[in-house]
Amino acid sequence: MEANQDTAVFEIRPGFAALEADKGGRPAEIGVVLSNHFVTTLLPKKSLYQYTVTGLVTDEQKKEDDVPNRPRRNELMALALAKSDILHAQRNHFATDNLEFIVAWKDLRQLQHDVQSTQGSALENFGIVTREAFGTKHQQQSLPLTLMYNGTIPMDGVTAASSGNIQALPLRLDGETTISPTHAVNILISKAVSDQARHSNGNSTVFQLGGNKFFDTKNPITFDFGGVRAYRGYFAALKVGMGQPLLNVNRNTTAFYDHTNVNDFMAAYCNKVPGAQFTDT
């Protein structure tokens, strides 16, 4: 069993009932229960360092509830990683959620010779120039960005919460400036998969969707009318468990549109689906 990160952890089970023979004298049988949760012991021993790239979403966008979608924010974060002197020089020492957070296993402040920076300190100011998105909703603009140091993420908190040694594992730590240890590990998992794909010389068939969903383009599921195919994949996330941290792994199958123009898709669909009609709008 697992507990939500923002609630009290479960009381640790003190033991298990003894196996006893039934009334007929037959010995008790031990059943096997399959689970998609796996005990996790290979967690980082030392605290991790968290940083945030601020300015990717403007105050005006937040005020008007016009926050860019995830693909757009991924694109902005990629520009930020290329333009920041610190992040560009230390690319092999951190992982990112490709939205705003940086989780590093090395103190990136060392490049600035400023390891005394406190939580909430600005390490670097820089800027990016965005491209114009489709339509006029997101026009080309210059965004001033700041790399902030948020503090350390104590990784022993996951084991402590699972063991019942602390009452809860909060969503954010250090005065609400750093993310939880489980969130940090999930970002590391995402980096491990994306690095494997990047180092495959273009031969990888794995792609990522969202934070921790991964799909394989081998052996897709195709449909009669064409234009759409489904890929199999999985979702993985670390969670606080009763007694030990658990890695939750779920199988996923999701349909995607093929790379094709609308006219070809409509024609293929109409040819395969009797009575299908499209009207001008």
At residue 2, does pLDDT exceed 70? Answer: no
Would you state the pLDDT for residue 137? 61
252 and 162 in one domain? no
Chosen domain end from 141, 163, 185: 185
Is residue 131 located within the same domain as residue 146?
A: yes
> 75 lies in a domain?
yes
Q: Does the residue 3 lie in any domain? A: no
Does residue 281 lie in a domain region? no
Rounded to an integer, the average pLDDT of 133-142 is 65
Q: How many domains does the chain have?
A: 2
Torsion of CA 184, 189, 190, 191, to 10 degrees: 90
**Per-residue pLDDT reduced to its tens digit, 191-248:** 887 777 666 666 778 888 777 888 888 888 887 766 788 999 988 888 888 788 889 9
* pLDDT value of residue 112: 64
Q: Give me the pLDDT at residue 180, please.
A: 84
How many secondary structure helices (H) and strands (E) does the chain include? 6, 13
175 pLDDT above the threshold of 50: no
At 152, list the tokens.
């350390």
Model pLDDT, residue 55 = 93
What is each CA distance from 187 to 25, 100, 104, 227, in whole angstroms?
53, 12, 10, 33
81 found inside a domain: yes
Structural domain containing residue 92: 48-185
Q: Which of 162, 185, 208 is the last residue of a domain?
A: 185
64 assigned to some structural domain: yes
What is the pLDDT averaged over residues 45-69? 88
- Of residues 268 and 29, more confidently modeled: 29
pLDDT at 146: 95
End residue of a domain, out of 138, 169, 185 = 185
Confidence of residue 9 (pLDDT cuts 50, 70, 90): low
The mean pLDDT value for 4-16 works out to 57
pTM (2 d.p.): 0.74
Specify if 67 maps to a domain: yes
Could you tell me if residue 102 is inside a domain?
Answer: yes
